[in-house]
Structure 1
Amino acid sequence: MTAGQQFPNHSPSESPDAHGIHRSPGDADYRLAVDKQARAMLALATSRHSEFAQDCRTDPGQIVNHWSDDVTIGYVHALAHTSLNSSSTATIDDQNDLLGLFSPAMQAGERNVIRVQFNEGREYTARRNFTLLHELGHYLQQTDDVLADQLFVISSANYNKRFEESACNRFASLSLLPDDYVTALMAGEPLNAIVARDIFESGRGSGKSRRMRVSRPVVVRRMADFLPSHGSIALVQDGNLNTRVHADGVIDYGGEPTPAERAGMDAYHREHSEPYATGLVINHPNAPTAAPPAASSASSTSVSKATRVSIAHSYGRSDYFFIVTAPQP
């Protein structure tokens, strides 16, 4: 990344396509720069607080106490009820996965402040955790000289802001689902939907506990790092697409499942079980079939056009499916 380089808009498209899908474009150089920044943030956080990684894995809420000398962190019932909400210097995040703000210290004697909207006992902790780490990412980028310098190699303030936000999201994702944690749960196997579902479940409290490390969409976006070329991972909620991430970084929001994803769900409902960790093969839009033998050239042609689908059901307030698709070799 060089001075004056500009990056494309990485927000979802303003209007949906014919299937009702909003799409965020992928850009390999942008993603690489964001990942580099986020990993530098992660290294800085760990160097400042040796317990940081353990807090993220066991109880991210401990960050509030462990970082109290660095930044004042507090929970509020509603962001609108804090006076910092109207501050011209505050960074306010009020999206579905984020409800928080960071207000930097502007003069001697002031404190850096993070506020996270969270109602203890009434909400699951997944959004709180991601928001807390995201806002901590703003704090790190705006107060560390090396990280801050990376924000200003981009000529446009608009792109600068997108880069900072993307790095905060990536930092939160890597903190809550670090590489070694994910690869240990994958146990050397290729990514499939059951692994993705189990990674979500591993951070979920038992019984009536509202403790939840990360949300399902966060798992989907993180696990896209482990997709094979031309693969995708999707979260379907109540029959509609919630989030789909492709191996090239393109993200789809909303709309309808693909024919292969729909066929996978149909197969699941017929079997009412999960025999598809390694995937079933979809040879045409509506019917799953066994993979044909690879002996003949005709079979090879058929396989090359097929899609391998793995699917896992996830219980919750809605009906969720994790679905991983990839071209059949």
Structure 2
Amino acid sequence: MPLATLKQVLDEAKKGKYAVGAYNINNMEQLQGIVNAAAQTKSPLIIQASRGAIKYTEMNYLVHLIKAATELHPEIPIVLHLDHGDNLETVKKCVEAGFTSVMIDASHHSFEENVRITKEVVDYAHQFGVSVEAELGTLGGVEEDITGTVKLTDPDQAKLFVEQTGVDCLAVAIGTSHGAYKFKAEPVLATDLIPTIYEKTQKPLVMHGSSSVPQDILAQINKFGGQMPAAQGVPIAPLQKAIEGGVAKINVDTDSRMCMTGTIRQIFHEQPTKFDPREYLGPAREATTKMIAERMQAFKTAGHAGDYKVLSLEEAKKQYYGL
């Protein structure tokens, strides 16, 4: 099966009133854990790579790992998505490498400049059938080199932004933050904005900064030598409410990082003679599968892998963009 486009996957999610998790990867075991969860739950899947992940893996390794996943699991629609692209040149490199979806994040610019940069990316990517995500409003926290303070998305601006750029989906700011230290107490999110933004834009919406920072995994990390005091994420209940309001893509990165780290720390502590990477990366992969499968169930993605025929980029270019 060819790699799917984000537009097709999110349009199907919008129809089915579920969300597709977008899971960041940095190595083979992380990818395998996530793909195995999708195979177990029969879920469509969005694999994300940040600019940092692309630099770490080197582009060719990453792309060929994804292609291997599609060959091993042709029954699972898989999107390869650039997370937080910073300019057109980054987007071009990813499209040329085989990505089927890109995000351009110009949310830190003025509204007018955000529109200009996003429209430039949309015009380029759509001619290849590649989907485009953009962001309006800003999130808090830190993710790699992305730092921000919360500025909620304005629904009327969102309507204008979508009309002027032609994006396929829109990342909105409702009070979430990047990283493991999102909140100091139980979060209060502006989830009431979501149905209003969806009604005005009629586009699938995206939530960034949506890892839940599972407290059992946090306790495991800290018990076996880690130092992550007071880390707190987004509970599952607000994410499910957001899905009901129009969110179709939910980004999860911190949770899988923590899952692998907790497992590896425990093995190093309890079995200090271990030195074969397979003996700690293998269990970390299995723990990732279990945790991601739980997210797929919670997001109601499970069981939807076979709902549609995946379009090739050439087919998507014709059907969605008339090119």
Q: TM-score range by the shorter chain?
A: under 0.3
Specify which structure has the bigger relative contact order, considering alpha-carbon pairs within 8 angstroms and separated by 6 or more residues: 2
TM-score (norm. length: structure 1): 0.24
